[in-house]
Chains A and B, each alone.
Chain A
Amino acid sequence: GEDVEQSLFLSVREGDSSVINCTYTDSSSTYLYWYKQEPGAGLQLLTYIFSNMDMKQDQRLTVLLNKKDKHLSLRIADTQTGDSAIYFCAESPNTGNQFYFGTGTSLTVIP
């Protein structure tokens, strides 16, 4: 499969911004996604970005895509304790309907 890498842990204080980073390898990726997984729950789609965009904003979430460097980031503004979860980035290459996931970043929000 494709190589999607993320840092494993991030800790921020409540009210601060969180930035979760991801690098991927397949330059043909059509869509890139951010999923959230709370303890004991399935993955929930947060947002996605099409590969011809470099930024997408959705309420507290901002996705930045640097296609040249194959780097994706998710910024969460005004981070709340309810944002504590594991965040996965995923890419969907143009070759089919495959989705490749990163190892996940565990976000801890300190009250």
Chain B
Amino acid sequence: GAGVSQTPSNKVTEKGKYVELRCDPISGHTALYWYRQSLGQGPEFLIYFQGTGAADDSGLPNDRFFAVRPEGSVSTLKIQRTERGDSAVYLCASSLQGELFFGEGSRLTVL
């Protein structure tokens, strides 16, 4: 597609459940980023991929969060044993040469 695509756009789940969020970057973009945005806050860095490998995962808050990008294109952010504090908009961005192109985000609500 022309832009970064994220699915689902909205996800409501119960505390303790497992969630997967998908990001389809712009074709040819080698870098892919996951950010989390809580209400009234700026995007908070989670993880950055260059190709298939996680070049920097220092922003992942704990070991319940994991992300993969097995073929260097689509990425999946996985959250285990969700907690109410995980509720946020999860933003994906891709980049070729510095400029970040963002998707519209996946809004996660943990009840």
A59 at the B interface (CB under 8 A) = no
Supposing A42-B105, A43-B91 touch, asked if A100 and B100 sit within 8 A by C-beta, the answer is: no
Which residues on the B side are within 8 Å of A82 (C-beta)?
none
Q: How many residues of A contact B (CB 8 A)?
A: 24
The tally of CB-CB contacts under 8 A between chains A and B is: 55
B interface residue count range (under 10 / 10 to 19 / 20 to 34 / 35 or more): 20 to 34
B40 at the A interface (CB under 8 A) = yes
Which residues on the B side are within 8 Å of A40 (C-beta)?
104
Nearest residue (CB) in B for A96 is B56
Partner of A101, one of B43, B55, B105: B43
For residues 81 through 102 of chain A, which have their beta carbon under 8 Å from a beta carbon of chain B? Answer: 88, 92, 96-102
Give CA–CA (A99, B48) in the complex, Å.
Answer: 10
A residues contacting B by CB (< 8 A) are 1, 4, 8, 31, 33, 35, 40-45, 48, 88, 92, 96-104
